[in-house]
Amino acid sequence: MLVEIGRYNRIEAHVVVGALEAAGIPAIGFDGEMSLGEGSAFLIPVRVMVDADDEREARAVIAEALEG
């Protein structure tokens, strides 16, 4: 089961997904293209999702990245 670990603008979402994948945690961004289809670029946040089993580690990776 996938869980949402945060909502970010399109650029931030790519960075977060990359950081998670670099840490060995598979991640995906949902709704990234919705803002383009609606003509409201950057207004609709991207939901970053990970497997429920990886949620705790993913949140730690994100927290560490934000501190640095």
Question: Which residues in the chain belong to E strands, given as ranges?
Answer: 2-8, 27-30, 46-51
Q: Provide the residue range defining the domain that includes 46.
A: 2-67
Count structural domains, the chain.
1
What does DSSP assign to residue 52? G
Token pair 């919705």 is found at: 34
Tell whether the model's pLDDT for residue 8 goes beyond 70: yes
What confidence tier does 25 reach under pLDDT thresholds 50, 70, 90?
very high
Q: Could you give the strand order of the β-sheet that contains 27-30, starting from the edge strand earlier in sequence?
A: 2-8, 46-51, 27-30
- Give the CATH number, domain containing residue 30: 3.30.70.790
Pick the more confident residue, 66 or 8. Answer: 8
